[in-house]
């Protein structure tokens, strides 16, 4: 396992009314979508897009999602989704998350594991060189 210098990227999201439940909290399942925004924007910050990865023959299915809830977020809150890569990918890439409110309070932590998959064969494969080289540049 190779470790990198914890490359991270912060994405800002404002909670929309339709993302809240009857208790006025952000519905728990919405955080999976917020995390997706975080990882897409982290990759974009490296100069890599999902669209580009798909074009060169890769898919990235989610194989595991874990979230630990600590405090709720509410309608119209501005949230920071801090997305971190702590280790270089292999056939899988692990994204770590922290959701913070405007007061910088930790609302939840999470982890999402995705696998690089060859779209032609449907089988797992190693991370493409474009991802590896961009991450190595950030070390």
R_g over Cα of the chain: 16
* Residues 35/26, Cβ–Cβ less than 8 Å: no
* Residues 85/42, Cβ–Cβ less than 8 Å: yes
Among residues 113, 114, 33, 115, which one has the least CA distance to residue 81? 33
Among residues 34, 12, 53, 137, which one has the least CA distance to residue 95? 34
Identify the active-site residue in 10, 21, 76, 77.
21
To the query of whether residue 21 is one of the catalytic residues in this protein, the response is yes
Q: How many other CB atoms sit within 10 Å of the CB of residue 39?
A: 22
Q: Which residues are catalytic?
A: 21
């Amino acid at each position: 396992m190779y470790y990198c210098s914890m490359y991270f990227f912060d994405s800002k999201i404002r909670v929309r009314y339709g993302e809240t439940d009857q208790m006025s909290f952000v519905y728990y399942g919405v955080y999976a979508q917020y995390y997706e925004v975080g990882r897409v924007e982290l990759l974009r910050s490296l100069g890599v897009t999902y669209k580009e990865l798909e074009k060169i023959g890769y898919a990235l299915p989610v194989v595991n999602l874990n979230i630990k809830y600590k405090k709720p977020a509410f309608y119209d809150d501005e949230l920071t989704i801090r997305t971190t890569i702590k280790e270089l990918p292999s056939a899988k890439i692990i994204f770590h998350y922290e959701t913070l409110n405007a007061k910088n309070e930790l609302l939840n932590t999470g982890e999402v594991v995705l696998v690089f998959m060859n779209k032609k064969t449907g089988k797992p494969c190693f991370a493409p060189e474009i991802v590896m080289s961009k991450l190595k540049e950030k070390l």
